[in-house]
A = this chain, B = another copy of it.
Amino acid sequence: MIKELIQILHLGIKEKKSDGVCIKLPDDSCIGIISTRNKFPAIPIIINKQHLLKSEIKYMFINSGNANACTGELGMKNARSYIKKLSEKLRCAPDSILIFSTGIIGQQLPLKKMISSIDKCGFQFKSSIRAASKAIMTTDRYEKWVVKKFKISGKEIEIRGLCKGAGMIEPDMATMLAFIFVDINVNKTIIKRLLKSCADESFNKISVDGDMSTNDSVALVATGSNSIDLTNKKNYHIVEQNIQNVFKQLAHMIVSDGEGATKVCKISITKAHTLTQAKEACYSIANSNLFKTALFGEDANWGRIVARLGSLSKVRYTPKDVVLKINGITVFMKGVPTNQSNSYKLNSSMKNFNIDVEICLNSGKFDASMFTSDLSRKYVQINSKYTT
Contacts and interface: CB of A to CB of B under 8 A. Distances in A.
Nearest to A107: B337
Interface of A: 37-41, 69-72, 75, 104-106, 167-168, 170, 209-214, 287-290, 293-294, 296-297, 299, 301-304, 306-313, 317, 319, 332, 334-337, 341, 375-377, 379-385, 387-388
B170 A303 contact: no
A280 to B, nearest CB: 14
A2 to B, nearest CB: 33
Contacts of A302: 106
A211 B37 contact: no
A70 B332 contact: yes
B294 A70 contact: no
12 contacts: A39-B319, A41-B310, A105-B303, A168-B307, A211-B290, A211-B308, A212-B310, A289-B289, A293-B379, A293-B383, A294-B383, A377-B377
Contact of A307 (B40, B289, B290, B312): B40
A375 B289 contact: yes
A299 B384 CA distance: 7
Contacts of A387: 294, 299, 301, 303
A309 B37 CA distance: 12
Contact of A303 (B75, B106, B289, B335): B106
Contacts of A308: 211
A169 to B, nearest CB: 11
Contact of A313 (B37, B213, B287, B341): B37
Given A38-B307, A294-B388, A380-B380, 14 more contacts: A70-B337, A72-B335, A105-B304, A106-B337, A168-B290, A210-B288, A210-B289, A211-B290, A211-B307, A214-B307, A214-B310, A296-B380, A299-B387, A377-B381
Most interface-central of A104, A209, A290 (chain B CB within 10 A): A290
A104 B303 contact: yes
A301 B382 CA distance: 14
A39 B301 contact: no
Contacts of A71: 336
Contact of A380 (B310, B317, B375, B388): B375
Given A170-B311, A301-B388, A311-B211, A293 B40 contact: no
Contacts of A293: 379-380, 382-384
A332 to B, nearest CB: 7
A124 to B, nearest CB: 36
Most interface-central of A296, A311, A317, A375 (chain B CB within 10 A): A311
A315 to B, nearest CB: 8
Given A303-B105, A377-B381, A387-B299, A309 B40 contact: yes
A304 B335 contact: no
Contacts of A297: 383-385
Nearest to A341: B106
A105 to B, nearest CB: 3
Nearest to A72: B336
A293 B375 CA distance: 12
Given A70-B337, A105-B306, A388-B303, A290 B383 contact: yes
Most interface-central of A38, A40, A211, A336 (chain B CB within 10 A): A40
Contacts of A384: 293-294, 296-297, 299, 376
